[in-house]
A and B are shown apart, each in its own frame.
Chain A
Amino acid sequence: SQQGEEDPQALSIQEGENATMNCSYKTSINNLQWYRQNSGRGLVHLILIRSNEREKHSGRLRVTLDTSKKSSSLLITASRAADTASYFCAALLKTSYDKVIFGPGTSLSVIP
């Protein structure tokens, strides 16, 4: 079974607005990753945050991690139409080295 849960399942915003997606997981992790998937394509790694980190930035992406609540969030600032895609969180489990479990994803639509 999948470890992660994400909300919202779908998000529709106007270009220029910020998009926030949330992810929760069930067991101890080594790190939490976010991936992006354009329609009909493979997944692309966006950003990784380790279990001892609380916040990380990469360009217009900001990721937070709260291990006490077993949750993470991905913020995309100043969204663009090209950000339209599905976004997945993925947990590298602490109990099984190299096992990466994905959440169900958030479908983001950015309207020009």
Chain B
Amino acid sequence: EAGVVQSPRYKIIEKKQPVAFWCNPISGHNTLYWYLQNLGQGPELLIRYENEEAVDDSQLPKDRFSAERLKGVDSTLKIQPAELGDSAVYLCASSPTRGRNTGELFFGEGSRLTVL
């Protein structure tokens, strides 16, 4: 079974430029999460999807961040414009559908963003 796939693994951009990250969850996993992880810290939730619906986006900085999950499968997280403080690792995770969900998350390898 394929795991959660994220791309790109690494991205270096200049401030004020846009950037997008892509995530393909495990097949059959309806819940998808985007987390931000700063160096030496734990992941912080940005947004959580149930199928195509964003059920928790309270921590997403909506002035510059946006996300979508069309058709309830793949998801894209976008930052426009990027700021120096956005340098971090962006992690995508998925989990099985509600009813069988113990809360265990399956993570991708992450997308490391460096803003210069």
A residues near B (Cβ < 8 Å) are 2, 4, 30-31, 33, 35, 40-45, 48, 88, 90, 92, 96-105, 107
Contacts and interface: CB of A to CB of B under 8 A. Distances in A.
A42 B111 CA distance: 10
A76 B84 CA distance: 38
A48 B103 contact: yes
27 contacts: A2-B44, A31-B102, A33-B103, A33-B104, A41-B109, A42-B107, A42-B109, A43-B43, A43-B91, A43-B107, A45-B104, A48-B103, A88-B42, A88-B43, A98-B48, A98-B50, A98-B101, A99-B45, A99-B48, A99-B56, A100-B33, A100-B45, A100-B105, A101-B45, A102-B35, A102-B42, A105-B41
Contact of A45 (B33, B98, B106): B106
B25 interface: no
A2 B38 CA distance: 13
A5 to B, nearest CB: 10
Contact of B104 (A40, A42, A48, A96): A48
B95 interface: yes
